[in-house]
């Protein structure tokens, strides 16, 4: 008879580290993994969010308050993972931020470049290097998931430096995926379009006069939710993706495929502007 055993989506017995897990996509991933049986290690810079996540997850999990850009905070975190869990099966490098450093390239200082590098790329190097000895410990492989953005796959004119570091994640991921493939350690990318979160509260960022355009800006007629990205993170961490490495999942509702095309109020497609300003931007809470 044919072996029809279905690959499991369960993560029982796995240990997963999720960075920036106190809110948004990181929190959704941590909770989804825990629901599927994984033990969670997490790091979150906001102490209140870290405490709340620890309470939600329970005592079988560990949530550290710390900054992934701090070598000392990362060293302390990995020491706890080693001592308490003894291994690491899944690493989600979720932290990233434009730091609202947007505008013409020549207006950005070298300090801005360094800050964007630290939070969008350097810490991914540091976390990955620290994770590999723990992933190798069991000899059964592992998973590394790097969170990027679709801005790494199209031009981002007001944020060239941010986009450059996000683009670099792609080169790093493909290259290290090849290095680690013989050890069955898989490395992939999730690249979301604008997703509702505490970091990007998109529902508050759209001017009232433009809110009827939202369903036409994205082919699937809405912005993303943390749950959308978490679903892809579950796929990449589970047996369902056992032969997937070095690739990117675009969680964007079809935005990248559409390029610059949008639907007009009458339902036609156009690649000409449908609003008279940027349409979305940082606004004070209403």
What pLDDT is attached to residue 158? Answer: 87
Q: Is the pLDDT at 5 greater than 70, yes or no?
A: yes
What single DSSP character describes residue 280?
A: B
pLDDT at 17 over 60: yes
- Average of per-residue pLDDT across 21-40: 98
Between 3 and 67, the more confident residue is: 67
Look up residue 139 and give its two tokens: 């000899």
pLDDT digits (tens, 9 = 90+) for 103-115: 999 999 999 999 9
Residue 82 pLDDT class (50, 70, 90 cuts):
very high
pLDDT at position 1 is 46
pLDDT band at 177 (very low <50, low <70, confident <90, very high): very high
pLDDT of res. 212: 82
Q: At residue 281, does pLDDT exceed 50?
A: yes
Return the number of other C-beta atoms located less than 10 Å from residue 88's C-beta. Answer: 26
d(CA 174, CA 168): 10
Q: Is 111 helix (H, G, I), strand (E, B) or coil?
A: helix
Q: What is the mean pLDDT of residues 96-105?
A: 93
- The per-residue pLDDT for 215 is 86
Please provide residue 126's backbone torsions phi and psi, each rounded to the nearest 5 degrees: -65, -45
Q: Three-state secondary structure along 261-276?
A: CEECCCCCEECCCCCC
Q: Give the per-residue pLDDT at 285.
A: 53
Q: Angle between the 24-35 and 47-57 helix axes, to the nearest 10 degrees? A: 20
Q: Which residues have CB under 8 Å from 27's CB, separation 6+? A: 21, 49, 53, 226
Among all chains, which residue has been given the structure tokens 């899944």? Answer: 90
* Selection from 8-12, 210-214, 215-219, 277-281 with the highest mean pLDDT: 8-12
Please list the residues that pair with 91 across neighbouring strands. Answer: 17, 144
Token reading at 30 = 């941590």
Residue 235, both tokens = 């796929």
CA-angle at 254, arms to 253 and 258, nearest 5°? 145
Q: What is the percent of the chain with per-residue pLDDT over 90, rounded to a whole number?
A: 77
Confidence of residue 283 (pLDDT cuts 50, 70, 90): low
Active site residue 162: yes
What pLDDT score was predicted for residue 175? 98
pLDDT digits (tens, 9 = 90+) for 116-163: 999 999 999 999 999 999 999 999 999 999 999 999 999 888 899 999
Give whichever of 28-42, 146-160, 192-206, 256-270 has the largest mean pLDDT.
28-42
> In whole numbers, what is the pLDDT of the chain averaged over residues?
93
What does the pLDDT read at residue 269?
85
Which has more confidence, 192 or 277? 192
pLDDT digits (tens, 9 = 90+) for 43-77: 999 999 999 999 999 999 999 999 999 999 999 99
Non-local CB neighbours of 123 within 8 Å, separated by 6+ positions: 19, 68, 69, 74, 93, 95
Half-sphere exposure of 76 (CA within 13 A, CB side): 14
| Helices 71-84 and 123-136, packing angle to 10 deg | 20
- In this predicted model, which residue has the larger pLDDT, 107 or 214? 107
| Alpha-carbon torsion (231, 235, 169, 138), positive or negative | positive
Q: Tell me which of 33, 117, 153, 162 is the catalytic residue.
A: 162
């Amino acid at each position: 008879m044919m072996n029809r055993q279905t690959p499991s989506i369960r993560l029982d017995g796995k240990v997963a580290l999720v960075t920036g897990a106190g809110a948004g996509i990181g929190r959704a991933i941590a909770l989804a993994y825990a629901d599927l049986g994984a033990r969670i290690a997490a790091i979150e810079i906001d102490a209140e969010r870290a405490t709340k996540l620890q309470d939600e997850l329970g005592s079988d999990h560990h949530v550290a308050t710390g900054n992934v850009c701090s070598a000392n905070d990362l060293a302390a975190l990995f020491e706890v993972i080693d001592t308490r869990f003894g291994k690491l099966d899944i690493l989600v490098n979720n932290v990233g931020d434009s730091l609202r450093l947007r505008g013409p390239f020549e207006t950005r200082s070298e300090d801005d470049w360094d800050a964007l590098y630290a939070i969008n790329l350097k810490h991914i190097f540091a976390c990955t290097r620290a994770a590999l000895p723990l992933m190798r410990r069991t000899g059964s492989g592992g998973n590394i998931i790097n969170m990027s953005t679709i801005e790494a796959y199209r031009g981002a004119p007001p944020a060239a430096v941010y986009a450059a570091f996000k683009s670099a994640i792609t080169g790093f991921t493909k290259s290290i995926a090849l290095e680690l493939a013989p050890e069955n350690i898989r490395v992939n990318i999730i690249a979301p379009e604008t997703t509702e979160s505490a970091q990007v509260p998109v529902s508050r960022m759209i001017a009232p006069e433009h809110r009827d355009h939202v369903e036409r800006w994205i082919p699937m007629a809405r912005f993303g939710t943390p749950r959308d990205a978490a679903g892809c993170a579950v796929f990449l961490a589970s047996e369902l993706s056992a032969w997937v490495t070095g690739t990117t999942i675009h969680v964007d509702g079809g935005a990248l495929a559409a390029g610059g095309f949008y639907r007009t109020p009458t339902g036609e497609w156009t690649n000409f502007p449908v609003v008279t300003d940027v349409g979305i931007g940082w606004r004070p809470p209403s």
